Structure 1
């Protein structure tokens, strides 16, 4: 087998394709649903504030980092390795890869839910599928998909174009149909519906949901490993980030407003996070007398979109972890690739960790609790690691003479450093408060169960990251003893 670094590259990618690949990892209709349940219509103001104060700076920071290190294939791991050394490069690579795995589980869960809607035409209930059956179907999704990735090496680009494009079009359609609905003078589900509903509330609930808001809009750096496969990457990668920022802003702001038209924001279903997207398109079809037409249109779109997410997360995450990490920290089995340049052993390690997380969370009382806890776990671990991205940006701006870039976000050096620290602090605050469960009554048995899982599962992921270098060290000693 070839090493990952010498793997055969795909056909050169254009910046619109990179933007669509990124879009499937950054934001989706489900992300709007999740935070709509947490904040109601006030989330519209939250999205606007975060878009201006966090998302646009974050995505353009990614643009400069991608342009600065355009010859490296490890993304965030490369950026930290160049600015803080090999050991920090490994720590970053492991952390960034492993914190994407709860999201990978969430995506696989959502894939199971989408197929349940496709075949049953309604929300999945606990009586129809037990917790353990749900876990087994999710694990099966991983196995089937890894086989698919292995057999069809170039599936990623096409899945991303189709999935990302279809989801954006579906969201635009939802917003357009909402405008038509309002234009016909039809009633709004949220009552009373006035300006006060949209005002943000900076309370404990806001802080508890801030991590999930950040998680919903981060992930732009996931496509950084593909800069080396772009035509004129240093120049065109920032264009993809601009396109991504526009798509993200449209989806979050107008999508959340549209939800308030079809759902009563003051009385939302308990399973909205798991089934809300389907309820939304089902309600739209009912309002326009089209039955389940929009529902099934969305189900198909969602299934393709979820498969595209799996493709980017499995492939892109493994690249970040395996392609540019100091090899002495990794067991040699993880640095090998197949004839298509795919890190198959990395894929199987991904499946193992995801299965452990899934089965730990399956001890919760219901499928809905499993879904919500794994979802909220992302709002804890993901922002912590995103903070490393801002640290890398601060480092290259403090020592900007050592890190020239064709694209520079914020010419003023001192202001750029201030923005880097601002974004770093926001992510750390959101991640810390995210540890407190938001989907269960405080002090209840389920609340304590979720809190324990929110602590134990990250510790499991950290522990495994410590074990891998020890295995690599043992392998080196064993090889030396044989020689």
Structure 2
């Protein structure tokens, strides 16, 4: 019997820490994140990235590493960490907050997937000009359904998409940075002028403050791989390694990537649709400068499509697992806890897709595709940082109870300093999320500005209400079960 158990254990397929880092990389940072924040802050974003790497990203990801090491056997990721530190009720609250926080991001990723296919097929931005809002919403919903089918039917689809997509995106970004220095080395001048130290200093005003939440959104999300720690051979030891690799990749991509954008774009005069199509414009400009036509554009478009599909797969799976896998069953309707033969919460996938479609339909009331894309992106900058606050609150409680929880890896051995670091990250993240409600892409006082503001407030409230309804349904089910028995 012991020999048989040993044989089964030896054949078990584990996820290595470099794969975990790539799984995380596709949910944390992408070339698009550089574009979004470059549009908001210009060359000053380079300084913002550097400061945030030191003051936020490294502490944040090491806190995730500390939590993952302490609760490496739990399958629910952050929801398990909150449940362990604060009890079942807070575990449920964290679960539905995290679930709803990933929904606008899933919509945004599905939109980006659709746009990437448009560039692959046409080689230009015509899809964003010619497609109606209703068609855009319907095709986005079709992408959700397609990916639910893929994940339900194809084994290891997430792992392979993440490996291919994450590796390809990192490689093509390295290529972009390298070619930037080749371009400068041959005597060419940057498109942004003046290109001096003063250009890299952020302009501290209301606009900068309102866009800061998008910086935090771009650099957060490392806890999404929490549900996969239990699938590592030695999560206590290896998960922190994945966090360090993620921090290094994030630093390279943000700082040098944004610097390169300042070389090929004039930071003082950017296209109005830069957030939607800027990544493609960047590689198209690179190809034109080196006399290679649209070679770089198509290479990036294909990479972007694979990368976005990997993001969508990880978000649909990890977000739903985080909500359903390790939350107290008393808070959830029975149908949502149903697993298929592969152990996937299939009904949770469908609920996720349904609510994502609702968000897309509400945002589709804005005038055009560019406004829709920008508003959904801003919504991510509001909801996601609020959800990330659970990481820091859990870390603070964990370190307050150092004697109760055993962790092989500790971020800052001194307990008091660790708690101060947790409070700093919590305060910064909560403040940025609150200020992110102010529309940053529409002119103040216009109809679009007020429309966006209403959506920025109402859509999170609708998602919170849906999360609050689930325990009521579960309670009703329990009462009916007692009556029947």
TM-score by length of 1: 0.97
**Contact between 1:19 and 1:244, CA under 8 Å: does it hold in 2?**
yes
1:371-399 deviation digits (Å, cap 9, x = unpaired): 00000100001111101110000001111
1:259 aligned partner: 261
Q: CA deviation at 1:342?
A: 1.0
Q: Determine the C-alpha separation between the residues in 2 that align with 1:267 and 1:281.
A: 18
In structure 2, distance between residues paired with 1:411 and 1:153: 41
Match of 2:6 in 1: none
Distance in 2, matches of 1:345 and 1:258, equals 44
Match of 2:194 in 1: 192
Q: Deviations 1:310-344 (Å, cap 9, x if unpaired)? A: 11100111110011100000001111111111111
Distance in 2 between residues matched to 1:158 and 1:341, nearest whole Å: 18
Match of 2:8 in 1: none
Deviations 1:428-461 (A, max 9, x none): 1110000000000001000000000001100010
How far residue 186 of structure 1 moved from its aligned partner, in angstroms, is 1.0
SS at structure 2 position matched to 1:363 = coil
Match of 1:136 in 2: 138
| Aligned counterpart, 1:443 | 445
What secondary structure sits across from 2:43 in the alignment?
helix
**Structure 1 gaps, min length 5:** 1-8
**Which one of the candidate residues 44, 47, 51 is aligned to 1:45?**
47
Task: Name the CA distance, whole Å, in 2 between partners of 1:149 and 1:303.
Answer: 17
Q: Does 1:390 align with 2:396?
A: no
> What is the match of residue 222 of structure 1?
224
Q: Distance in 2 between matches of 1:126 and 1:276?
A: 12
**1:291 and 2:329 aligned:** no
Tell me, in whole angstroms, the C-alpha distance in 2 between the residues paired with 1:300 and 1:125: 16
Give 1:52-451 correspondences, 5 Å limit.
Answer: 52-124=54-126, 127-451=129-453
**CA distance, structure 1, for counterparts of residue 333 and residue 219 of structure 2:** 33
Q: Distance in 1 between matches of 2:207 and 2:73?
A: 43
2:482, 2:127 → 1: CA distance?
A: 57
| Contact 1:190-1:261 at 8 Å conserved across structures | yes
Question: Any stretches of 5+ residues in structure 2 without a counterpart?
Answer: 1-10
Shift of 1:127: 4.5
Once residues 276 and 250 of structure 2 are traced to their aligned partners in structure 1, the CA distance between those partners, rounded to angstroms, is: 21
* Alignment pair present for 1:453 and 2:455: yes
Structure 1: distance between partners of 2:366 and 2:12: 42
Give the distance between the partners of 1:108 and 1:157, measured in 2 at CA.
19
Moved over 6 A (4+): none
TM-score using structure 2 length: 0.97
d(CA) in 1 for partners of 2:467, 2:36:
30
What is the RMSD of the two structures over their aligned residues, measured on CA atoms? Answer: 1.0
Kept after mapping to 1: 8 A contact 2:115/2:127: no
CA distance 1:414–1:360, change in 2 (3 Å): same
Aligned residues: 475
8 Å Cα contact 2:378-2:436 kept in structure 1: yes
Partner Cα separation in structure 1 for residue 14 and residue 446 of structure 2: 53
1:189/1:262 contact within 8 Å kept? yes
Q: Is the 8 A contact 1:331 1:468 kept in 2?
A: yes
